[in-house]
Amino acid sequence: MWKQLEMGLRAFLLIASRIWTCLCFTLRKQTRAIIQHQSVKYDLFPLSPLSRHRLSIVKRKVLVLDLDETLIHSHHDGVVRQTVRPGVPPDFILKVTIDRHPVRFFVHKRPHVDFFLDIVSQWYELVVFTASMEIYGAAVADRLDAGRGILQRRFYRQHCTPDFGSYTKDLSAICNDLSSVFILDNSPGAYKAYPDNAIPIKSWFSDPTDMALLNLLPVLDALRFTADVRSVLNRNLHLHRLCGTGGMSMGSPRTRLDAANIKPKTDLESLAESLVTRVEENSSDKQFNSDNSNSSSKDKRFKSRIPQRMCN
């Protein structure tokens, strides 16, 4: 009797624990969905007269945008990457023909990308620059633009520079004035020739709670007021090195100083060191002369004690 009751209680607890686990999983899934699709606001306050005057005297900047793993993530037929969970529906599907073979791309948009493009298109001239093929990149850009006309200028793989199996992007081909152009890209190797004109961003694959694009809005809001974007973005060099490259070789003097955590000496510091060195040299010379004079006087006294015939 007691044994049967104990077995029944264990079975009940096992079933209850499984039901509780299933409910918790469903609740977490619904919470992620709510967070991903919740309404987001970034208040655009009216500019003061001083801010409007500042914008009128500086050039309108150009923001270059990468596509894959920066604004979107995609995979094609027969390839399911581990970073994309099976069963996650794509935001849209592209059907393109590559080498006479039809290929379907399942494209996932980074969270808040549409809102991000709506806001930054009011501040900057937007340019798409991707290392992907034009037939694919153009289709993705068309879907992101959605008829708004904010992604008119586009550059593709044929505009990149091959670099040992990868591609680098020449920002000077987009804008001759490098003080007014910068790129948002997840790959530091793509902009290694222009580290002072880049904002690094973490690669995105499938995280529905990602907030990277929203976190950039305050920075981009302020950056449009600068006369030279490099005066601000060159402070991000340590982030590029953490991502795998600093845009400079380790043999360059500037990088060696940064790697050793040594700051270049100012003119005053160099002058002070030279003065200290001179003082030390003078004191050592005086000490040396005094030692020589003492030794010569000792020699004279010693010679005075020696008989004259021994000195001769």
Task: Say how many C-beta atoms besides its own lie within 10 A of residue 163's C-beta.
Answer: 12
Q: Could you report how far apart the first and last alpha carbons of the chain are, in Å?
A: 130
66 is catalytic: yes
State the catalytic residue, choosing from 68, 99, 142, 291.
Answer: 68
Are the beta carbons of 136 and 94 closer than 8 angstroms? Answer: yes
Return the structure tokens found at 154. 């586009």
The CA distance from 6 to 25, in Å, is 29
Q: What are the residues facing 200 on neighbouring strands?
A: 185
Identity of residue 170: D
Given the residues 66, 114, 145, 196, the one annotated as active site: 66
- Picking from 240, 125, 113, the residue whose alpha carbon sits closest to that of residue 181 is 125
C-beta of residue 186 within 8 angstroms of C-beta of residue 70: yes
* Structure-token pair, residue 278: 């001179």
3-state secondary structure of 295: helix
Question: Can you list the pairs that 25-33 forms with residues at least 24 positions away whose Cβ atoms lie under 8 Å?
Answer: 32/208, 32/209, 33/208
Q: In this structure, which amino acid lies at residue 301?
A: R
What's at 218, amino acid-wise?
A: P
Beta bridge pairs of residue 167: 162
Whether residue 114 lies in the annotated active site: no
Rounded distance, CA 72 to CA 75, Å? 10
Give residue 287's identity as a one-letter amino acid code.
Answer: Q
Q: What is the set of active-site residues?
A: 66, 68
